[in-house]
Amino acid sequence: MSKRDDSHTFLISVAAELAGMHAQTLRTYDRLGLVSPRRSSGGGRRYSQRDVDLLREVQRLSQDEGVNLAGIKRIIELTNQVEALQARLAEMAAELEARGPQRRDVVAPSTSTAVVVWQPRKKSR
C-alpha cells in the first residue's frame, strides 16, 4: 500500500477496470469500509491511485492468501495505525534533532542480561 499522488481520481468504472474487479464489488467494499473513496459533489465515488492499489491488495489477500473480508479489514486498520505511528515517530525524531543535544541525564540502555521476577502482592481479605 504505497504512497502515491492522490490528486487524480477515477470514476468507479475506471477504478474497477484498473483493479480487475466488477464495479459492484467496489461498492460492496466501500459499504464494508475496506476502501473509502472520496465523493464528488453529486455523491459519486472517486477513487485515487492509492485506493486502486488498496483494492488490488484486498484482492490479493482474498484470492492468494485466503483471508476473509473481516480479516482484510483488520489488516488494513492495523496497517493504517502502523503508518500513523511511523509518521508520528518521524515527527518526534525531527523535533528532537532540531533541539540538539540538551539532556545530559539520559543514560544509555544497559547491556545486562539480568532477569527481574515480579510478583504482585496477594490481597488480604
Q: Is residue 43 part of a domain?
A: yes
Report pTM: 0.68
Instruction: Determine the structural domain holding residue 20 and report its residue range.
Output: 9-99
79-109 pLDDT, tens per residue?
A: 999 999 999 999 999 998 898 876 666 666 6
9-41 pLDDT, tens per residue?
A: 999 999 999 999 999 999 999 999 999 999 999
Distances (CA, A) of 84 to 77, 78, 79, 89, 97: 11, 10, 9, 9, 20
Provide the CATH number for the domain around residue 23.
1.10.1660.10
Distance, in Å, from the CA atom of 20 to the CA atom of 52, rounded to the nearest integer, reads 10
Q: Is residue 114 part of a domain?
A: no
Please state the domain count of the chain.
Answer: 1
Distance, in Å, from the CA atom of 99 to the CA atom of 103, rounded to the nearest integer, reads 10
Q: Is residue 118 part of a domain?
A: no
Q: Is residue 45 part of a domain?
A: yes
Q: Is residue 57 part of a domain?
A: yes
State which H helix or E strand residue 97 sits in: helix 69-99
